[in-house]
Amino acid sequence: MNAIPPAPSQRSAGRTENSTLPLAHLMLMLAGLALAAAPHVARAAWWMGVGMAAAFLWRLYIAWKDKALPSRLILVAMAAVALTGVFLTFRTFIGRDAGVTLLTMLLALKLMEMRAARDVFVLIFGGYFVALTNFFYSQTIMTGVLSLLTVLTLTSCLVSIQAPQRHIRANLRTAGILLAQAGPVMLLLFFLFPRVQGPLWGVPQDSASGVTGLSDSMSPGTLSRLGQSDAIAFRVKFSGAPPQRGQMYWRGPVFWTFDGVTWRPGALGLRGAPATVELLGEPIDYEVTLEAHDRQWIFGLEMPSRFPRNARMTPDFQLLSPLPIRTRLRYDMRSYASYRAATDNPDEQRAAVALPRLGNPRARGLAEEWRRNLPGDEAIMRQAIDYFRNGGFSYTLQPPLLDRNPVDEFLFDTKQGFCEHFASSFTYLMRAAGIPARVVTGYQGGEINPVDQYLEVRQADAHAWSEVWLKDRGWTRVDPTAVVSPVRVDGGLSAAVPQNALPLLMRENFSWLRSWRNNWNALTNQWNQWVLGYTPDRQRDLMSRLGVGQPDWGTLAHLLFWSVASVIGLTALWMLWRVRRKDPVQAIWEKFCARMARRGLPRQPDEGPLDYGSRLAASLPQQADGARTIATLYADLRYGPNHPKEQVALLRRLVADFQP
């Protein structure tokens, strides 16, 4: 029929609906999902990464070749395979690792039934969730940057659903603008949203597995293994000047029983009330930010006098948190460098001389000989210290392996050891001579970061020393390592052992590397203090510093509401406020057009100035030249490279004189 209404060209401006993404946009979405899942892939079961890659490639192939999506039967089969894989790997479907793997696999399967815009939404929201689950494992700056990238990419895919006709770069830019404008809202919500101390229903038990730190027993090699790690154990900010490095003994677990090889805590030290301690000299006030180590120990300088309220001090002066520390913890402490721990508990003294009946005969013989020849406990102690000082001992991160009588072999044969060897054998000698003694582990020293003045104590600073009970002085610290290698205590591990045995960043001659590391660590510390360590306490601090004395929920909610509302209002004003400073040329032209419109010759919206000028010239033969001149001059001024002032004045005069 002749009367077929619209020629297709007539509706070229319109598009028909297309709900799935074009190939380039799909690739970007897959990249976003891959970014979200990448840390999991690096850490989870190998088949998860393979499965995801296969699903991504398959989906790309389907989109590229315009194939049909797999049938429901195949989908169910693939889901069954994924579920089986999760169960075979984890033996459960609940829990952190299994849950994350399940979520990621289901998301990959969802790709295979991505038919409509709705499915794309589900995938992208799922991607946001996966990005969140990364924080179960890591909340470092790098993880933060990665999730920011993930959010940017996935959000640009939300834009792609709405505007598949645009280039992905344009959509990424739109997403970036959204992200930048969301920043202030995010900051306000982050700092003002009333914080609740979690957990609401319980933290998964496996959330802190694999962290490094001191252990609850000590045998040869326990601490030297930590010596390889430059992970931060805790950071300390002193209120005043930090004490001498040699004075900084951070007390951790205390060991009472010895089976010939391994030291263990024993039952005695944990029970009962702490003994009274006479504190001497000046107090040292400081704040500790302790990394999660999945144990109960709270570290402080010897000897702590004020410590967190919910912590408990044991009779052997360990500080214990009621629960294992699974998240970063910040607390205030006060310690005294000089003290007298003169407890007089016969049970304690009996336990502190117990030794296995067999083994290490040569050490036992030496101690008994000292006991026979020397006048008192203190003299024997000095003799033992001299023995270490003059006996040809050396301090090393890689001590030779010891066999069945480790104390004997170390004291008389190898004579090379790390701090646990010295502390263990010294304590053994004391006990064999009948002097109560115990092993204390913890950290020694630390390094001030010159960037932010925080003292950084690393796992490599792990240390072991002895405590000896003397009749008139009580428990006295003796550090045989300091006798053998004074630099270990005064200069740190990196000064005391050969450089190539240390982690790269702890070596002394890489000064530029160290300064870079110091800056990075200071940044990480700020991150830890303000982003990760923003607890209800810190929020209260901040509020009181801002002048809100006792912030309760209501005050915070008010503050939050009004500040967020005003930030959004400002953004809205900025976006919608259209002060249109009109170009003078444009203003003159519009005046001219308006006058022509009153004459019944309005400019059509799609009509260019030159066309309009010609039309006016045709309609107004007497004024043809004038109309053409005005239109041409306007086009020159508007679209030409430069517009001199005289020309603008000329245009204004021409328009004013134009009388149709």
Q: Which of residues 107-146 bind another protein (CB under 8 A)?
A: 117-118, 121, 125, 128-129, 131-132, 135-136, 139, 143-144
Which residues ranging from 594 to 613 are in contact with another protein (CB under 8 A)? 605-606
Integer Cα distance of 69 and 151 in angstroms: 27
Integer Cα distance of 254 and 438 in angstroms: 7
Q: Is 622 in the site for another protein (CB under 8 A)?
A: no
Token couple for 487: 């630099």
* 479 among known catalytic residues: yes
Integer Cα distance of 343 and 313 in angstroms: 15
Q: Are 143 and 39 in contact (CB under 8 A)?
A: yes
Which residues ranging from 244 to 273 are in contact with another protein (CB under 8 A)? none
Which residues ranging from 284 to 343 are in contact with another protein (CB under 8 A)? 327
Q: From the list 111, 151, 284, 437, which residue makes contact with another protein (rule: CB under 8 A)?
A: 151
Residue 551 C-beta: closest distance to another protein, Å? 17
Which residues ranging from 436 to 475 are in contact with another protein (CB under 8 A)? none
Integer Cα distance of 432 and 425 in angstroms: 10
Q: Are 535 and 330 in contact (CB under 8 A)?
A: yes
Token couple for 29: 């979405």
* Shorter beta-carbon distance to another protein: residue 172 or 484: 172
Residue 596 C-beta: closest distance to another protein, Å? 16
Q: Is 579 in the site for another protein (CB under 8 A)?
A: no
Integer Cα distance of 343 and 580 in angstroms: 83
Q: Is 186 in the site for another protein (CB under 8 A)?
A: yes
Q: What is the DSSP string of 187-200?
A: HHHHHHSPP--S-S
Three-state DSSP class for residue 565: helix
* Shorter beta-carbon distance to another protein: residue 151 or 341: 151
Give the rounded distance of the alpha carbon of 572 from its chain centre: 33
Segment interacting with another protein, rule: CB under 8 A, options 11-19, 55-63, 238-246, 652-660: 11-19
Segment interacting with another protein, rule: CB under 8 A, options 6-14, 261-269, 353-361, 483-491: 6-14
Integer Cα distance of 159 and 166 in angstroms: 9
Q: Is 207 in the site for another protein (CB under 8 A)?
A: yes
- What residues form DSSP beta bridges with 478? 466
Token couple for 591: 């005046």
Q: From the list 181, 349, 416, 563, which residue makes contact with another protein (rule: CB under 8 A)?
A: 181
Q: Is 179 in the site for another protein (CB under 8 A)?
A: yes
Q: From the list 166, 477, 507, 615, which residue makes contact with another protein (rule: CB under 8 A)?
A: 166
Q: Which listed residue (230, 377, 408, 479) is catalytic?
A: 479
Q: Are 50 and 56 in contact (CB under 8 A)?
A: no
* Shorter beta-carbon distance to another protein: residue 24 or 117: 117
Q: Say how many Å lie between the first and final Cα of the chain, rounded.
A: 48
Segment interacting with another protein, rule: CB under 8 A, options 202-210, 214-222, 240-248, 396-404: 202-210
Helix or strand holding residue 394 (H, E): strand 394-395
Neighbour tally for 18: CB within 10 Å: 10
* Shorter beta-carbon distance to another protein: residue 50 or 187: 187
* 643 among known catalytic residues: no
* Shorter beta-carbon distance to another protein: residue 46 or 577: 577
Residue 488 C-beta: closest distance to another protein, Å? 36
Q: From the list 238, 520, 534, 658, which residue makes contact with another protein (rule: CB under 8 A)?
A: 534
Q: Is 210 in the site for another protein (CB under 8 A)?
A: no
Q: Which listed residue (230, 419, 461, 593) is catalytic?
A: 419
* Shorter beta-carbon distance to another protein: residue 139 or 623: 139
Q: What is the DSSP string of 9-49?
A: GGGTT------SPPHHHHHHHHHHHHHHHHHHHHHS-HHHH
Q: Is 654 in the site for another protein (CB under 8 A)?
A: no
Residue 277 C-beta: closest distance to another protein, Å? 34
* Shorter beta-carbon distance to another protein: residue 131 or 596: 131
Segment interacting with another protein, rule: CB under 8 A, options 42-50, 156-164, 432-440, 548-556: 156-164
Integer Cα distance of 91 and 84 in angstroms: 10
Q: From the list 31, 75, 149, 158, which residue makes contact with another protein (rule: CB under 8 A)?
A: 158
Residue 360 C-beta: closest distance to another protein, Å? 47
Q: Is 533 in the site for another protein (CB under 8 A)?
A: yes
- What residues form DSSP beta bridges with 237? 287
Segment interacting with another protein, rule: CB under 8 A, options 106-114, 199-207, 411-419, 636-644: 199-207
Token pair 């006016």 is found at 616
Q: Is 189 in the site for another protein (CB under 8 A)?
A: yes
Q: Is 211 in the site for another protein (CB under 8 A)?
A: no
Q: Is 147 in the site for another protein (CB under 8 A)?
A: yes
Name all contacts of 566-574 with Cβ < 8 Å and 24+ positions apart: 567/184, 567/185, 567/188, 568/185, 571/181, 571/184
Q: Name every residue whose Cβ is closer than 8 Å to that of residue 35 and which is 6 or more positions away in sequence.
A: 131, 146, 149, 150, 153
Q: Provide the strand spans (E) within 423-572.
A: 437-444, 447-448, 455-458, 462-470, 474-478
Integer Cα distance of 419 and 601 in angstroms: 98
Integer Cα distance of 56 and 60 in angstroms: 6
Integer Cα distance of 255 and 426 in angstroms: 13
* 347 among known catalytic residues: no
Three-state DSSP class for residue 535: coil
How many Å is the Cα radius of gyration of the chain? 38
Residue 198 C-beta: closest distance to another protein, Å? 4
How many chain residues are in contact with another protein, going by CB under 8 A? Answer: 71
Segment interacting with another protein, rule: CB under 8 A, options 15-23, 301-309, 365-373, 385-393: 15-23
Segment interacting with another protein, rule: CB under 8 A, options 175-183, 208-216, 236-244, 397-405: 175-183
Q: Is 500 in the site for another protein (CB under 8 A)?
A: no
| Short-list 218, 217, 215, 220, CA closest to 417 | 220
* Shorter beta-carbon distance to another protein: residue 172 or 380: 172
Segment interacting with another protein, rule: CB under 8 A, options 24-32, 153-161, 503-511, 628-636: 153-161
Q: From the list 84, 92, 165, 338, which residue makes contact with another protein (rule: CB under 8 A)?
A: 165
Integer Cα distance of 409 and 405 in angstroms: 6
Q: Residue-wise over 179-197: b if at least 16 C-beta within 10 A, else e? A: eeeeeeeeebeebbeebee
Q: Which listed residue (97, 230, 463, 593) is catalytic?
A: 463
For the purposes of burial, counting CB atoms within 10 Å of the CB of 348, is it exposed (0-12), middle (13-18) or buried (19 or more)? buried
Q: Is 571 in the site for another protein (CB under 8 A)?
A: yes
Q: From the list 99, 184, 308, 486, which residue makes contact with another protein (rule: CB under 8 A)?
A: 184
List the catalytic residues.
Answer: 419, 463, 479
